[in-house]
Amino acid sequence: MNKFLTLFFFGILFTLSAYSQNYDHILNYNLNTTSTYGVKIKTNLPFEPDGGMPTITIKGYNYGTADPISLTLIYYVWRGTPGDPNTYYFSNPIVSSSGAYTPPIYLSNEGGKVVIFIDDRSYFQRLTVSAFGQGDNETLSWFQGWTAADEPLGSTYTVGVPYRNRFAGEVYMPGNSLWKTDGVGIGTGDLRGYKLAVNGKIRAQEIKVEASPWPDYVFAKDYQLPTLQETEKHIKDKGHLPGIPSAAEVKANGIDLGEMNAKLLQKIEELTLHLIEKDTALKLQKETLDEQQLQLKKLQEQINSIVQKLK
């Protein structure tokens, strides 16, 4: 009988101990209008080191945007100088959202207590706040008496809390889109070995493509420049420029932007060399023609002189 009572006592103690670490629905909040400042959650968590590492969850309904609220917030208060409260700070605060609501979140020290501020002026917002904590100095009073109000922050020490979410494996999204660890598909789930596969149009202000080798080799002295006759024959036989894919190949396989830009530049450089060659030939022809014209003029002058003497 005594053994049974002992086990029963320890069972009750264990249950109460476990329950004391989980604080459900510490605060329920709703505002049946549009807020002026946001939601200021005033906790009784002390702003001091070794005050636990609480995990705070905020769940609810953001009616103004028709979004579910599901936020998880963590932080730790640490000291810059031991014993100097003026050097205490929030260490590694992080918030994660598993809903569709991601407002700016701030942590603040007001009167030695931690304040959570949701910087969003939403319409008809309602939420509930729960927490889990297991610090060395934790007391039940820290998780009681929390309040929330539509008020501005009034602290000289406030930090913004960055969002962090991580996913693993495959994440499927609407529109037949896929996000995997080895690539992203937009409008398609078939990446075909690419890091980014898009089924549709892409608009961007700038795209940088790294391409190598770049066709400066065309200007090397040992480069075998195709003759225009060779190029003409290839066009007649194949229907496209040498080294450039045909329309059928592009339709079946697409093009590599970096590779295609290099090929097109190669053709421009080859054309430039042909133009330089033709320009040089034309200059030589002009010089020859000018010389012949000069000789003809001199010959005509001699003929005219002879004719005058014969008269």
What the block records as the tokens of 247 is: 């329309």
Q: How many CA atoms lie within 13 A of 67 on its CB side?
A: 16
| d(C-alpha 300, C-alpha 139), whole Å | 121
* Residue with token string 């730790």: 76
Q: In what order do the strands lie in the sheet with 177-180?
A: 170-173, 177-180, 183-186, 196-198
The verdict on 138 and 173 lying in the same domain is no
**Residue 276, domain member (yes or no):** yes
119-173 pLDDT tens trace: 999 889 999 999 998 766 778 999 999 999 999 998 879 999 999 998 888 888 8
Question: Residue 147: inside a domain, yes or no?
Answer: yes
**Judgement on whether residues 86 and 155 belong to the same structural domain of the protein:** yes
Rounded CA separation 166/95 (Å)? 12
Q: Is the pTM of this model over 0.75?
A: no
User: 295 and 216 in one domain?
Assistant: yes
Q: Which residues contact 68 (CB under 8 A, 6 or more apart)?
A: 59, 60, 61, 62, 99, 100, 101
Does residue 11 sit within a domain? no
Cα gap 157→107, rounded to integer Å: 9
Span 37-70, pLDDT tens digits: 999 999 999 998 877 789 999 999 999 899 999 9
Q: How far apart are CA 94 and CA 198, in angstroms?
A: 32
Select from 127, 132, 62, 49 the least CA-distant residue to 91: 49
Residues 67 and 117 reside in one and the same domain: yes
* Rounded Cα distance, 36 and 18, in Å: 39
* Spatial separation of the C-alpha atoms in residues 150 and 129, rounded to whole Å: 16
Considering the domain architecture, whether residues 63 and 197 belong to the same structural domain is answered as no
Measured from the Cβ of residue 127, the count of other Cβ atoms closer than 10 Å reads 22
What pLDDT is recorded for position 19? 45
227: DSSP letter: P
Q: Give residue 145's region: left, alpha or beta (phi > 0; psi -120 to 50).
A: left
Please report, rounded to a whole number, the percentage of residues in the chain having pLDDT higher than 90: 67
Q: Is residue 178 domain-shared with residue 227, that is, in the same domain?
A: no
Residue 89 to residues 49, 74, 76, 114, 128, Cα–Cα distance (Å): 9, 14, 8, 11, 26
Residue 14 CA to residue 1 CA, distance in Å, equals 20
User: What pLDDT is recorded for position 14?
Assistant: 44
Number of independent structural domains in the chain: 3
Tell me the three state secondary structure of residue 108: strand
Per-residue pLDDT of the chain (311 residues; tens, 9 = 90+): 555 545 444 444 444 444 458 999 999 999 999 999 999 999 999 998 877 789 999 999 999 899 999 999 999 999 888 778 889 999 999 999 998 999 999 999 999 999 999 999 988 999 999 999 876 677 899 999 999 999 999 887 999 999 999 888 888 888 888 888 888 999 988 888 889 999 999 999 998 888 888 999 999 999 999 999 999 999 999 999 999 999 999 999 999 989 999 999 999 999 999 999 999 999 999 999 999 999 999 999 899 989 888 87
Query: Is 311 a domain residue?
Result: no
Pairwise CA distance, residues 146 & 113, whole Å: 11
Phi then psi dihedrals of residue 143, to 5 deg? -110, 25
Query: Tokens 């939403």 — which residue?
Result: 122
pLDDT score at 238: 94
pLDDT of residue 135: 64
Q: Do the domain assignments include residue 63?
A: yes
> What pLDDT is recorded for position 9?
46
CA distance 284 to 292: 12
CATH of the domain at 56: 2.60.40
Range of the domain at 296: 211-300
What are the DSSP calls for 198-209, one per residue? ESS----S----
Query: In this structure, are 155 and 60 located in the same domain?
Result: yes
